[in-house]
Amino acid sequence: MDTLSDIWGVLANNTDLFRTGFFNTIKLFVIAAIGSLALGTFLAMLRVSPVPILRAVGTAYVTLLRNTPLTLVLFFFAFAYPLLDIVRVSFFASASIGLTLYTAAFVCEVVRSGINTVNVGQAEAARALGLTFGQTLGQIVLPQAIRSVVPPLTSVQIALLKNTTIAAGFSVAEAGAIRDNLSERGENIMIGLGWVALGFLILVIPLTLLQRSLERRWSVAR
Amino acid sequence: MSAVLFDVPGPRGIARNRVSGVIGVLAILGLLGFIGYKFYDTGQFDGRVWSWLQYQQIQEDLLTALVATLQAFAVGAVLAMVFGAIFAAGRLSEHAWLRVPSMLVVEFFRAIPLLILIFLFYYGLPATGVKMTPFMALVLGLMLYNGSVLAEVFRAGILSLPRGQSEAAYALGMRKTQVMTLVLLPQALRAMLPAIISQLVVLLKDTALGFLITYYELLKYAKNIGGDFQFGRPYVPVLIVVSAIYITLCLLLSWLATYLEARNRRSRKVQADGPTEIAPEQPALIPPGSGI
């Protein structure tokens, strides 16, 4: 029964499903990746800023979001948010917002710890030269921090790519939702999910290899 | 530390910080106020949408759901640790026929999304005639994914030890197993504990995926109560309660990690050349377990 042609057939007969599914996954990933990088860096700047109240806000955000399951965040945007009657958004948009907000907390932590790895002497020297907070951060510390930040940031983004599947549970037609449609068409779910897993392997493995090589090449001896 | 980024502010600095502090506070208050107003405007503070909390049956259901979450967490955590230990040992083995398959298994389960894995067990396996309950599918998924991550944590912990430790043990005539259990593991475990616990926090959060395969845990409970028209669809109140529970549980675990880390650091003096950080190949600034 499970001949090779059966296994191939599940993919070949449903290429439309797989194509739109993975296209939506990648779209969701790119949007949330850009959004979370921007928001996360902003939050990291809040967390190291000289104004105590802004630091507290950054800390509160990170603590709340990091300790909440992503499923709950997406659940909130799918079911509770529409009741609040603010702006109507599509399921896709609300999933992007949820993924962005959630991932930003992790990006923030990575960027902040990257800032902390830069030698104290660098910031001290910058201050001794009379640079302001913004100049110290933007011209001295961040450029150095980026080297040690990029590899772990890549792992956060890989996690984001895998997390996009959770959006499938909330009416977003992406790779995780291929299963629903396959069972409607009466295909073998096991084989279908195997193809989905393979698709993720193809997406994730190059990113992992990239991350490893960056780690090796950019590791700074301190 | 972040405090070195700026001088102790002088009079002008203090004034400037106050101004940006006030602006920041106003912006945040504005945002919170808007959210609060929307909550109020759509009746999220009304007694009606909170009245479900008074029913004993619903309270008991909440407890059942909480227990179900903790059950999945406990079973998943134990299995993941065992899985991780076995495959870490496999990856550290001297024999290629153990090392290579272990590496493939670990890399495979780390690369595919946990949800797909859980779907494979819950929807895929029954097609081949294996019976699956939501609980089993969830726990299996948690075990394989988190176990693989933990295997990497364990391996990195062992590899982070100075080579002299195992060389000295071998020189004393110990066997491989003795070197591992008597010399390497006790030292590595201390260094790894924070990373292990932060992976357990991830595992705890991942139990929420059980919602998507109809496992009756906290989120499924939230869906049931939240969708109830009798209470005016109290999605917002119920989510506030459920997320408070999740955050408390995760913070308790994280505090355990911080506590252990602090205790570990205090005793660093005693073992001068002991493990200083985990994972030479994992960047030390982000513990291996802090994936999402």
Q: Using a CB-CB distance cutoff of 8 angstroms, which residues of chain B are in contact with residue A169?
A: 115, 211-212
CB contact under 8 A, A71 and B219: yes
pLDDT at B144: 95
pLDDT category of residue B30 using cuts at 50, 70 and 90? very high
Of A136, A217, A201, residue with least CA distance to B107: A201
In this predicted structure, the answer to whether residue B291 has a pLDDT above a threshold of 70 is: no
Q: Is the pLDDT of residue B264 over 90?
A: no
> Tokens at residue B232, please?
């005016």
ipTM of the complex: 0.85
Confidence of residue B268 (pLDDT cuts 50, 70, 90): low
Q: pLDDT per residue over A64-110, tens digit each?
A: 999 999 999 999 998 888 888 778 888 889 999 999 999 999 999 99
Residues B93-107, mean pLDDT to the nearest whole number: 91
How many CB contacts within 8 angstroms connect chain A with chain B? 192
pTM here?
A: 0.85
Answer whether residue B148 shows pLDDT above 90. yes
Per the CB < 8 A criterion, the answer to whether B79 and A128 are in contact is no
Q: Based on DSSP, count helices (H) and strands (E) in chain A, helices before strands.
A: 11, 0
Q: What per-residue confidence (pLDDT) applies to B54?
A: 82
For residue A57, what is the nearest residue in chain B, using CA coordinates? B28
Residue A33 tokens read as 């990746």
Which chain A residues have a beta carbon less than 8 Å from that of B37?
none
pLDDT at site B39: 85
**pLDDT for A1:** 52
User: In chain B, which among 132-191 make CB contacts under 8 A with chain A?
Assistant: none
> Which site among B42, B252, B255, B285 would you substitute to test the A interface, given the most A Cβ atoms closer than 10 Å to its Cβ?
B285
Nearest alpha carbon to residue B107 among A208, A176, A215: A208
pLDDT at B3 > cutoff 70: no
Provide DSSP, A37-66.
HHHHHHHHHHHTSS-HHHHHHHHHHHHHHH
Report residue B248 as tokens.
Answer: 């408390």
Find the residue in A nearest to B227 (Cα): A79
Quick check: A76 and B239 in contact, CB under 8 A? Answer: yes
Using the Cβ of A44 and the Cβ atoms of chain B, whether some distance falls under 8 Å is answered with no
pLDDT band (50, 70, 90) for residue A14: confident
**What residues contact residue B175 under an 8 Å CB cut-off, 6+ apart?**
none
Q: Does B24 touch chain A (CB under 8 A)?
A: yes
- Residue in B4, B6, B246 nearest the CB of A68: B246
